[in-house]
A and B are shown apart, each in its own frame.
Chain A
Amino acid sequence: MNFGAACKFLMTIYINRETNMKKTIITVVGKDKVGIIAKVCTYLANNKINILDISQTIIDGFFNMMMITDTTNAEKSTKDIRHELHQIGEEIGVSIHVQHEDIFEMMHRI
């Protein structure tokens, strides 16, 4: 790890501890089409959900997008956000999941 990456890593820990940040992972899987990111990002912006990181790729021929988001300032409950994003997914023909980051941290980090 270089110095910059180390600083970024330490900052992340610091921010998480200091602000008790609620990090949520949003995944979008489906057939690629115009406007998927726009639609999801608009919803997030309207609901005061901050995007910390975003990445996308094609796995097994399907469009896969992952967003690491901060829901600390969101006014809606995680449950409502989950249901509304699920509905948006159905409208545009993709599958959207909203999960707490801990399940991935636990499974892939010792």
Chain B
Amino acid sequence: MINIFEVYETNKMIEHENLDVRTITLGISLLDCISDNLETLKANIYNKITNAARDLVSTGKDIEELYGIPIVNKRISVTPISLVGGAACKSPEDFVEIAEVLDECAKTVGVNFLGGYSALVSKSMTQADRLLIESIPEALAVTDRVCSSVNVGSTRTGINMDAVRLMGRTIKKAAERTADRDSLGCAKLVVFCNAPDDNPFMAGAFHGVTEGDMVINVGVSGPGVVKAALEHCKDSDFEELCETIKKTSFKITRVGQLVAREASQRLGVPFGIVDLSLAPTPAVGDSVADILKAIGVEHPGAPGTTAALALLNDQVKKGGVMASSYVGGLSGAFIPVSEDQGMIEAVQAGALTLEKLEAMTCVCSVGLDMIAIPGDTSEETLSGIIADEMALGMVNQKTTAVRLIPAIGKKVGDSVEFGGLLGYAPIMSVNTFGCERFVNRRGRIPAPIHSFKN
């Protein structure tokens, strides 16, 4: 039977170490909404989402009460809209109308973000893909809760450099279109390589075409819990350090598994995966940077950081895998800058640069995330940064992503403020040497030799 010390440990994690379930994400397929008439399509989408997600938020709250564990976000991911809207949308403006319907759906059912305003163009683009990408800056400016992502490369297909170039331009336009709000549009836009179909985390969540009609995916969190556990490991060797992270990760993930199973049963929707990520928030004590410090670097960015992060990421996976029957999504440590107080401090102290962050993304999940850069950064430079990050993902057979915010009117030394979970970020300096000739070449970078496994 459960004893008092175990109960105390769990409740201490929840109350003092920010243990929470970061998100319950309901994936909804919109493939059966497709019509060649835009008005019919919009009505179909609205009806399907508002019906399917009717009880999502209230169910989340009930589970929260039952177990006494906060479930921070309830969210929705949908089939990439370029596939759904292809038949009906003849211009970027048509796609924006769909974005507005999605925003309305999110507000009606009470979720804080809805992901899937997406296109999958890792090899090439259809006309619909191109129109959707062109519509992204406007779509993100006129909606509040819609998130967008574009997959521009994969280990199997290589990198679609035409799409990379287009995304550099799109990010810049999205920043300009929301210049009055610290270029907030870019915080809702992710460029991916090897994007997973079942990622529950925003802004990159979409309901992949390999998924069924509906699915429940859950993202767990808890960097504060890992950090607190490591406080007892100040002088321990690597074996003990790794064991501690692994055991803590197991406990955190078990909570995610419990919530996922309960949500799946109550909503009558199949359980998909638990994403066992360490996702920080701007709250004090909810930081991945603090874990790296507890492992032994003065600030993230100091020599040794990449090795420490590699160790952390691997132990999180090893502990988490046994705790859940299905693990998926991004699963690993997130290193966003604006959403992590410790990362912000590292940038302000001059310890962390964009180049070091790029190196860190080789060994953890995701990539260059929530990084504010000067507003005058050229679209070619943006494309160059995207291409580099996509190459890391392609060659290392892992997901990488770019969520950069070229804050219009801001320069190094300034900061941008998004509020809430998105936090604030100091503007980081960017290498401004040119890459125009490289990114303006047409076509795609071929898949690496080790992708041919058949």
Contacts and interface: CB of A to CB of B under 8 A. Distances in A.
The SS class assigned to the A binding surface is strand
A33 interface: no
B2 A99 contact: no
Given A97-B11, A106-B258, A68 B65 contact: no
Interface in B1-29: 1-11
Nearest to B257: A106
Contact of B254 (A55, A57, A100, A107): A107
Given A53-B1, A55-B3, A99-B66, A106 B254 contact: yes
Among A27, A97, A107, A110, the one with the most B-chain Cβ atoms within 10 Å of its Cβ is A107
Contacts of A78: 65-66
A25 B8 CA distance: 11
Among A25, A65, A78, A79, the one with the most B-chain Cβ atoms within 10 Å of its Cβ is A25
Given A27-B11, A56-B4, A107 B67 contact: no
B258 A102 contact: yes
Contacts of A108: 2, 6, 9-10, 251
Nearest to A82: B65
Contacts of B434: none
Contacts of B6: 104, 107-108
Nearest to A59: B8
Contacts of A64: 4, 8
The SS class assigned to the B binding surface is helix
A18 interface: no
Contact of B2 (A29, A65, A79, A105): A105
A29 B10 CA distance: 13
Interface in A79-110: 79, 82, 97-108, 110
B251 A107 contact: yes
Given A55-B4, A108-B2, A108-B6, A100 B66 contact: yes
B8 A68 contact: no
Contact of A107 (B1, B3, B10): B10
Contact of B258 (A12, A56, A98, A103): A103
B255 interface: yes
B69 interface: yes
A40 interface: no
Contact of A98 (B5, B68, B251, B254): B68
A8 B322 CA distance: 29
Contacts of B257: 106
Contacts of B67: 99-100, 102-103
A66 interface: yes
A78 B5 CA distance: 24
B10 A103 contact: yes
Contacts of A82: 65
Given A103-B255, A104-B7, A25 B65 contact: no
Contact of A12 (B1, B7, B10, B254): B1
Nearest to A8: B1
Contacts of B4: 55-57, 64-66
A79 B65 contact: yes
A83 to B, nearest CB: 9
17 contacts: A12-B1, A25-B7, A56-B4, A64-B8, A66-B8, A78-B65, A97-B11, A97-B68, A99-B67, A100-B66, A101-B2, A104-B2, A104-B7, A104-B10, A106-B255, A106-B258, A108-B2
Given A56-B4, A107-B254, 14 more contacts: A25-B2, A66-B3, A66-B4, A97-B11, A100-B66, A101-B2, A102-B258, A103-B10, A103-B255, A104-B7, A106-B254, A106-B257, A107-B10, A110-B322
Interface of A: 12, 25, 27, 29, 53, 55-57, 59, 64-66, 68, 78-79, 82, 97-108, 110
